[in-house]
Chains A and B, each alone.
Chain A
C-alpha cells in the first residue's frame, strides 16, 4: 500500500508529532497525570478517536504493524475506518493478530491475549477526567488532582454500596495509578481493569477533543478503587462463548430472534478466531 500523496507520513506534520511526543514523554514520566496538548483537528470527527489517532500517528513508524479494535473487534465500522486511515496515510502493515501487532489502537477493550514487552496499546478516550461527573469544572478538578483530593470519588462509590449493595460502575471504572493519580481507564469494562496492572506493554491514552494525553508505563501499579469489605470484582458469565467455548473472556450478548433468543460470544474477535482455529487444527 502506498501513502496518500500530499500528506506527511501518518498525516500529521513532523512539528506536530514532536509536540505530541513531548506530551507523551511527560505523561510517561508522571503515570496517570493528564498532560494538556495542542490537539489538532483531524479529518475524523471528535469523539471518534481523534486523540488515539494522534497518539498513534506520533509513535508509529514504517516498520510497525498496526491493529485497530473497537469493542474488541477488528471489523467494527470505526475500527475499519481508522485502520484504513493509517494504511492510507502511513502505508504501514496492519494485522488483526494481537500477538503480531506492535501498536494496537483500541476503543473500549483490552485484548484478551496478554500483551508483551515492546507493544504499545493506544486507548481512545472520550472524557479523560475521572472526577468529571462529580465536578464539572476543569479548574477545580486540576486542583483536586494536585492535592490528591480523591475523597469525593470514594464517597460516590460508598453511596453506590449504600444504595445498591454494590459499586454500580461497570465500565470506565476509576483506577489509582502508581499510588498517586486517579485515572479513567477509558470506557473499557471493569473486566479489563486487572489487565492494566503491571502490564509489560506501554499504555498510552489520547483524548483529542479534550486535548489531554496520559500514560501508564510498563510494569506500573494500577489499582481499581475499592473497599476492604467490598473488594473489586470483575464481571463473570455463567456460560462459555458459544463459538469458541472460552470461559475467561468478555462476552457480548447477541440477540438472535424476537422471542428472547440470546447468544453469548467473545467480544475479542481475534481471541475467539484463534481459539476456533486451534480447536479445528487439533481436531484434524
Chain B
C-alpha cells in the first residue's frame, strides 16, 4: 500500500549531518584550519574572493572549508553572506599605477621603465608532480633582489597613449557613481561599468572558454598582453564629514591590460584598443580572460561585426555568473512530478492517436 512521502524534515537533517561527517573525513587526520587554507590555498581563496565579490581572506577560507573545497559552492556561501552586509559607501577609485608591484610583465615590450618583474609565478615551472612536497618540509628561501623594484612603474597602456597609438580611456563617459548589478537588475545594453562588474564576478571557466573561442576564430581581437601587474593597492574612503579621503587598508589585485589591433573606421583612425581585466588577489588567468572578453564585447561600440558568442552582450553577461548557473542547472534535482505527469499524459495521448492513425491506414 502506497503511503505518501512523509518525514522530509528528519531526512533533510540527517542528510546534512552525514554531509558534515563526510566533510570532516577521517577523524584520525588532523582537521584543516581556516588559517591553513587562507595561507596555503591562497589562489583558491583569491578566486573565491573575486567571484564572491568580497575581499576577506578569512571568510573566503572559511567558505572553502565549509564547501569542502568546492569553489563555486564557496563563492555562493560568500555571496549569500555579502548580501547581509551594511554599506557605508563607495571607496575612491583604486590607482593601479601606484601599485606596490610584486609582479609585472609585458608581452608587448622587451624592456620598459621599471623592467619586467617576474615575481611569484608558476610560469616556466615544469609541471612535474613534486613528491618532495608530499613529504612536507620548508622550501629553500627565495633570493632577495639587490635593489627594490621601482617605486613607480608606468602602465604600458599609458606609455603607448603618449604617442596616441592607443585609444584613450574615456573619462567623463560615465559620470556619477558606477552602477551595481547586485543592487539593480542588469538591463541591456549594459554600460561598460556594469559589464566589467559582471565579468569580474563571472565564472573563471566560462570566461576562459569564451576568451579561448575568440582566439580560435570566433571573433578574433588580435590581442597582446600589454601588461599584467599584481601587487597591493591602497583603498581610500572619503567620509563626508571629513572632506578628504583616508586610507582604510590595502588589497591585492591582478590587473590585465590587453592591447588589441584595430584597423579603424571612417571616423576613427587605426589605433590599438583596450580590453581590461581586474581580479582580487593573484588571478592572472581570470584577469586575462576577462580582458579578452571585455574587448570582444566592445565589437558593437567599435563598429565591428557582432557575429560570435563572445561578442554577444546578452549571451555573455546573462550566463557568466556561476552562482546563478549552478543554482538553475541543479534545480532540476527538485521534484517536477506535476510537470512530468502533465507531459506523460500528453505523450500517452499523442502515442494513442498515432497508433489509431496507423491502424486506420
CB distance from B53 to the nearest CB of A (A): 9
Q: Which residues of A contact B344 (CB under 8 A)?
A: 253
Closest to A250 in B: B338
A99 at the interface (CB under 8 A from B): no
Is B6's CB under 8 angstroms from A45's CB?
no
In angstroms, Cα B4 to Cα A242, docked, is 12
Q: Which residues of B contact A170 (CB under 8 A)?
A: 339, 342-343, 345-346
Interface size of B by CB at 8 A reads 49
Count of inter-chain pairs, beta carbons less than 8 A: 146
Fill in one digit per residue for B186-206: 1 if any A CB lies within 8 Å of its CB, else 0. 111100000000000000000
Closest to A78 in B: B334
B328 at the interface (CB under 8 A from A): yes
Contact A41-B82, Cβ < 8 Å, known A78-B334, A168-B350, A209-B328: yes
Is A75's CB under 8 angstroms from B5's CB?
yes
Complex interface residues of chain A between 238 and 266 (CB less than 8 A to chain B): 242-243, 250-254, 256, 263, 265
Fill in one digit per residue for B320-361: 1 if any A CB lies within 8 Å of its CB, else 0. 000110111111001111110111111001100100000000
6 A-B contacts (beta carbon < 8 Å): A73-B4, A73-B5, A76-B335, A77-B334, A107-B334, A252-B341
Q: For the complex of A and B, list the 3 residue pairs with the smallest distance between their C-beta atoms, beginning with the closest.
A: A46-B327, A47-B331, A170-B342
In angstroms, Cα B339 to Cα A188, docked, is 7
Q: Which residues of A contact B12 (CB under 8 A)?
A: 77, 80-81
Of the stretches A32-40, A151-159, A223-231, the one at the interface is: A32-40
Q: Contact residues of B with A, CB < 8 Å?
A: 2, 4-9, 11-12, 76, 79-80, 82-84, 86, 182-189, 314, 318, 323-324, 326-331, 334-339, 341-346, 349-350, 353
In angstroms, Cα B181 to Cα A37, docked, is 10
Partner of B341, one of A77, A164, A253: A253
Chain A at the B interface: SS class: loop
Q: Contact residues of A with B, CB < 8 Å?
A: 7, 11, 13, 36-43, 45-48, 50, 70-73, 75-81, 84, 107-109, 126, 136-139, 164-166, 168, 170-172, 187-191, 209, 211-212, 235, 242-243, 250-254, 256, 263, 265, 267, 269, 272
Q: Which residues of A contact B342 (CB under 8 A)?
A: 170-171, 189-191, 235
Q: Which residues of A contact B327 (CB under 8 A)?
A: 45-48, 50, 209
Contact A189-B341, Cβ < 8 Å, known A38-B185, A78-B335, A84-B9: yes
Q: Which residues of A contact B318 (CB under 8 A)?
A: 138
